[in-house]
Chains A and B, each alone.
Chain A
Amino acid sequence: MKSKCVFAIMLFACLSARAQTVSDDDKNVVISKAKRAFKFVKGTADHPVQVKEETDRTYTCNNYRTDIPVVEFYNDVETMDDVNIYVNESRKHGIWPRYEYYNADGVFYSDAHVCYFQLPLIEKGTTSQVIIKKTTLDPHYFTSIYFTDNQDILEQEVKLIVPSWMQLEIKEFNFKTFSIQKNVSPNGDETVYTYTMKNIPAIAKESSAPGPGYFVPHILVLCKSAQPKDKKYTYFNTVKEQYDWYKNLVAQVENDEKFIKEKTLEIVKGVSVEEEKVKTIFQWVQDNVRYIAFENGVAGFKPEKAQEVLRKKYGDCKGMANLLTEMLRSINLDARKCWIGTKHIAYDYSTPSLSVDNHMICAWMNKGKPVYLDATEKYIGFGEIAERIQGRQTLIENGNQYLLEKVPVATYKQNTATEQRKFIVEGNSLKGHVIQVWKGENKEWMLTSLNDIKKDKQENALKQYLAKGKQNYEITNLTIGNLSNYNADLKVEYDVIWKDIFTDFDKETYLDADNRRSFDNYKIDEKKRKLPYWFSFKNNLVFETEILLPAGKIISTMPESLAIYQPGYSFVASYSNTGGKLIYKNEIILSQTALETAGFAQWNKDIEQLTNFYNQQIVLTLKN
């Protein structure tokens, strides 16, 4: 099943694991015909309403024989009922599908399974056909039908067959750029929704792209209720029902309040201010509970008991959210569990469905206002919010009711990284002191990287990183301020001798004062790229250098300032000569993370200007 914390990975993996295995010859094999049918049927006592799926794909070899991987995912609430394979219309092909657990990166364990095999296309012009039959055992988990595949689809028909005892709503997404016809017709006591389409391109696989829900044509199937016989089953008519379902699962979790309270009191001993208590507990969970995505069956949506997470010192997002909430509650703080869909997901709770959320966090209600605490963000500070949940709608528990709030959007200033250098000139080198500070997600990134290095290698590794691997940037007296308090900035300070930085030609001396060159040549291939580019987080890079000019030398040429301001970003850089000092300032702001395709050309132009600016040297000559 598409369980919490894993769904996003799964769906993307489902589409991209297919996509990963597509060869570059994306026109050699096409799906010439695809027929998919999804039918709601009466099931068993355990699973009274089921969805039967039959997908029939015919692959055609256009140019030359090859074989392609075929991959189909399923899990504990889905069964793989049958796989029929025809190669050039024959069943005599010796192919045996394999059925295994699917190990996704970052997921310790889940109930995700994969059926896979290599499908040969034995000759140009021949076809191979795969018919897969699956059953979804619970309509809660039947949430969407995507219309793309790893190959171009020439012709496709998708049918949804809904008996009169089944109530649902269909929402269509990303149909605009594709020619998809819809037909709704009765068939006895069933309603048949038929979507026909031609020439659907293979799913685009690009890094730093939005989740597939934003661009792939698909439908959300919002199951409301069903009454196959006498009993009525209610799914998610409204957000309230979705909330009730979650609440019911959470209510089944037997948290040991006494045990949790004992530990919590130990952690906050000596702390009296409420907010400080919250900070202390939050950081304790970040530090002491490892994130391990461990999903199985209905536990995919049911949090682990708080005392179990505490005992094991590991958990997934639900377990960690539950623990954090229970710990705060145990000392009479108003804490709530919150369900949320990360940015990767294109929907919100206006379409109640299990596909709209994939994560759980905690909120501390501080005088009625939620302060969001996501313990899976290992090194984020109290009050800081990761990009992936900013602006997202969140479902907050509120007894029998619920609250629907939006997580605040932080500005780029949350993630500011500054570097300040002060140098004097010594011979051909610069000698000085540097202070670097990282906040927000920049800090989180740095701390993650640092903690991933063995502690006896950390200092060397950090020096290498700060020097960008250059031997002539010699760092000494490195101090790392604050590795352990995530509510404060990460700071490093060091002395540096930057050797042979000046280049003398005849009477002139040249200096390139910026070895960071942030976003240097960071162009996007606008000819190739089809999808928007999403940066990981908003950013603010502030770089300042002050060089005390040697007596006897003056600056004869300085690069012209750069000032580029666009709605989503700005690049501002300048040199100035003041009181015998060369001052260099460079500030890059990414105020938005999404760069639309229409903005690629401008972005590339601006990056070119930035690169050209970096390529300007300072020229010093002797004073007369």
Chain B
Amino acid sequence: MKFLKFMIAVMLTAATGLLQAQSKDDKNYRKESEEIRQQVWAWEKPQFKLRTVPTEYANSSKVVIAHHTELTADSKSKFHLLITAGPKKEQTLTEVVREMVKLNDKKAVDDYSDLSFTRFKKRSGIFNDSKTTIYIGVRILKPNGIVKEIDGDDIVLTKDETKEKKAKLAIPDLQPGDIIDYFIATVKFLTNDFSSKPYNLILFDDSPVLNLSFHGQLGKKFALEYRSYNGAPDLKVSKNNDEDIIVDVEKANIPPYETSFWIAPGLQLPFIRMNISLGYRGMGAKFMGASKPGEIAKNRSTDEVIDEKAGNLSTDYYNGYWMRGTKTKYETIESATKKKLKQLNIVFKDLSNEDKALQLYYTLRFTELLEFEIYKMSEMINIGNTSYNGLAFPLFCTMKAAQLQKPALLVGIQRGTYRLAEIMESEDLTTVAYLPDINKFFSLQTVYDLPFVAPAEMEGITDTKIFTFDHPAVVMSVNKMKGLSQIEDGVNVPVSSSDKNAHIENLKIDLNAEKTNLLVNRSTTMKGYYKADVQRQLILYEDFYESERKAFNDEKSLLDDMRGDKQQKKYVDEVVNAFAEARKKQKAAFISEAKDWFEQDITELTNYKTDTLGVRHTAPNFVYSSSFTLGGLVKKAGNNIIVDIGKVQGTPLTVMPEQRKRTLDVYMPFARSIEFNIELSIPEGYSAEGIAALNKLVRNETGYFTAEATIAGNKVLIKVKKHYLHNVEIAASWDKMLEFLDAANDWTNAKILFKKK
């Protein structure tokens, strides 16, 4: 099941390992493999004895008959002499995931016909030595009752290094009708590792699951935190006589989950989260936020998590701003801001809080993210490929260093992840720089982002908190550290309307001379959250830099600056060449973007340019234009011409028949709109017909699709609009959404007839 592949993926990224001699390694490995196989096949679990599946699933590609996980964790302490002598704690985490699957078709057989895994992987640092070893066992249960076990020698190594061995196993004699019974056992040795290990149980799959179960036994030094989501069953947690933590959960008859779109798994699908860690009471335990040995925390309170977040942010503040010397970089940004404003004859201190924040934002973006260095030229030219995490903390510190009025961090959950009442750890919360007195947000996820705009994933969230920070005289303890932060109730993050996140096409269209294709003069306006993807594709770093440089009234262009510098001038040629090459590629980027959007043949592209970059709040829209020949939309009908004007939309979202019934609420990235303003010239000697039939209006509280067409002189004017009014709709509104979605789809058949006079 997908879960298993997920687990394999987890294992493949786990960091572990110790050096061993290869041949001894192999012998030991095979011996250990055999031992584990014998143990697992001997499990007395009734669910693994089942051989038949309910008739309702006879047509399923595969049926998971049983899926069971055994997780054991124990620890022992070893004292190691190191540079800084300290006790090392070794943990052994052993996880066995066994699954039995009935394969009903060739596709399922293909999916299970080979297994890839990392046999072992090593990571070693001064304090953390780790090694993970993986073992597998596979059996085939034939319809006639014969059980065939796969020979471990059939494993082949595909990577054979001392630090990592990857292996593959082709499963022999697997056919539709068979049951594959296999397990993957992971033994992980972790030393000096008190970090929390997340462990998730996913209780949905696109195949039916007859039985899913989990059993964990954690040694008394371990700690457990857990929560069930969206109707997932509760874990049964207890302690045995040895004070080990025993965890069990079982769910039977999980029907197949039909994957759909616009869903929020964290809010809608059943799963269980656990955090397992080695408890620690020693020095700095509180500071580390370590759990106590044997501690069990079910449904940790939100306040506790927010408290933890406060601690983390306070530590960041302490180490990243309050400590001597750490503030300097933010003060440098402030100085740079003042200098740039001077070039514009503006005095920083005379500005309002809001304007100060704006200028600091733009300066930080320009000096920190866009700054050109010859040694990272390739990275700068491809800056569109870089994403940032919002840079909440640096933005906050910059505003604080510049002594703006009460800069803060706004903390909340990301929309569509977890409910605030169901968070488990501080990483579940997201942060954005914020100025409470003007209720404005500051975030940088791409270099093209604008100030005042909250990230799309925070729109509409309520129950936020505002964190501000004070300077204490001295910090002596963890509690004092926490006291650096003050927490107040936050605000509801506003939600943008559909017209604010828009893709607007302005198209002036003529027929070509042969009347076989359309000649298009295109101007596209992208607004709001719709911009970034296309900005990445089309904006040249050189143009962006120049635009910003001019906005700051910097005297010299980048190249002139370099020419005037003794060290830098020898690089000018290279930079000129690299920029020229990037500019050459821009045409291909424009063609590719147009092809993707219109889904038709695009030829003879000319006059392509980015008119407004959309990187300043004073000109927030990204506008670009080009001219080209658009194929695929013109048909001949005797002496007349038909233009498939509806196809100018490309292929609007099509909802499949099996997706038309919906029980889950609809989570979309943001409210948005797509509009077309078309001016289609009527060729000389022709009249336009079918205009009235183009008109369409479907509107309801979830959104609308409208088309209005008129004739003005020798032009057909068409305005098409499709608006998704909200970023969330309840399931009951799905039918209403379908109304305007279907209308948009139907409109792809819209045609105009040019009739020869």
Contacts and interface: CB of A to CB of B under 8 A. Distances in A.
B351 interface: no
Contacts of A500: 749
A23 to B, nearest CB: 9
A451 B585 CA distance: 41
A65 B581 CA distance: 12
A512 B174 CA distance: 48
Interface in A446-503: 451-457, 460, 464, 469, 471-472, 500, 503
Interface in B640-692: 640, 642, 651, 654, 656-658, 689-690
B430 interface: no
A288 interface: yes
Given A312-B173, A617-B642, A455 B168 contact: no
A108 B575 CA distance: 44
B61 interface: yes
Contact of B637 (A28, A108, A312, A617): A617
A455 B105 contact: yes
Contacts of A512: 635
A452 B632 CA distance: 31
B215 interface: no
A505 B637 CA distance: 11
B516 A288 contact: no
A314 B577 contact: no
B634 A455 contact: no
Interface string B728-757: 000000000000000001000101010100
Contacts of B695: none
Given A108-B114, A294-B170, A471-B654, A123 B574 contact: yes
A63 B576 CA distance: 9
Interface in B55-83: 59-62
B377 A505 contact: no
A116 interface: no
A100 B168 contact: no
Contacts of A559: 636
B620 to A, nearest CB: 32
A123 B578 CA distance: 12
A309 B567 CA distance: 68
Contact of B158 (A109, A312, A521, A615): A109
Given A124-B573, A452-B107, A615-B636, A314 B378 contact: no
A45 to B, nearest CB: 24
B574 A456 contact: no
A80 B755 CA distance: 73
A505 B754 CA distance: 10
B150 to A, nearest CB: 10
Interface string A541-559: 0000000000000001101
A218 interface: no
Interface in A497-523: 500, 503, 505-506, 508, 510, 512, 521
A367 interface: no
Contacts of A32: none
Given A109-B168, A124-B577, A617-B642, A521 B631 contact: yes
Contacts of B753: 503, 505, 508, 510
A106 B381 CA distance: 36
Contact of B59 (A28, A100, A288, A455): A455
Contact of B575 (A64, A311, A312, A456): A64
A101 interface: yes
Interface residues of A, number: 52
A25 B382 CA distance: 14
A616 interface: yes
Interface in B542-592: 571, 573-575, 577-578, 581, 585
Interface string B481-523: 0000000000000000000000000000000000010000000
Nearest to B651: A469
B745 A471 contact: yes
A290 interface: yes
Interface string A273-317: 000000000000000101010101000000000000001111000
B156 interface: yes
A619 interface: yes
B628 to A, nearest CB: 15
Contacts of A556: 638
A286 B160 CA distance: 33
B516 A510 contact: no
A617 B754 CA distance: 13
B110 interface: yes
Given A64-B581, A455-B61, A510 B642 contact: yes
A109 B172 CA distance: 15
A24 interface: yes
Interface residues of chain B: helix, strand, loop or mixed (majority)? mixed
Contacts of B378: 65-66
B658 A460 contact: yes
Interface residues of B, number: 59
Given A109-B156, A471-B654, A292 B170 contact: yes
Nearest to B575: A64
Contacts of A464: 656
Interface in B454-489: none
Nearest to A296: B156
B382 to A, nearest CB: 11
Which of A24, A28, A290, A506: most chain B Cβ within 10 A? A290
A557 B172 contact: no
B553 to A, nearest CB: 29
A619 to B, nearest CB: 5
A103 interface: yes
Contacts of A398: none
A319 to B, nearest CB: 12
A612 interface: yes
Interface in A97-124: 100-101, 103, 108-109, 123-124
A63 B638 contact: no
A386 to B, nearest CB: 20
Interface string A119-156: 00001100000000000000000000000000000000
A239 B745 CA distance: 63
Nearest to A447: B106
Nearest to A521: B601
A505 B158 CA distance: 66
Contact of B110 (A452, A506, A508): A452
A64 B636 contact: no
A455 B160 CA distance: 38
A526 to B, nearest CB: 13
A312 B170 contact: yes
Interface in A402-454: 451-454
Contacts of B640: 508, 619
A314 B635 contact: no
Interface string B79-114: 000000000000000000000000011111110011
B268 interface: no
B175 interface: yes
Nearest to A292: B170
B112 to A, nearest CB: 11
B251 interface: no
Contacts of A124: 573-574, 577
B31 interface: no
B575 A314 contact: no
A451 B107 contact: yes
Interface of B: 59-62, 104-110, 113-114, 154, 156-160, 168, 170, 172-175, 374, 377-378, 516, 571, 573-575, 577-578, 581, 585, 601, 631-632, 634-638, 640, 642, 651, 654, 656-658, 689-690, 745, 749, 751, 753, 755
12 contacts: A63-B577, A66-B378, A109-B158, A109-B170, A123-B574, A296-B156, A311-B173, A451-B105, A453-B107, A454-B108, A506-B755, A557-B638
A-B residue pairs, 6 tightest by C-beta:
A454-B61, A312-B172, A557-B638, A63-B577, A617-B637, A64-B578
Given A25-B581, A619-B637, 7 more contacts: A65-B374, A65-B377, A451-B105, A453-B107, A508-B753, A615-B516, A616-B635
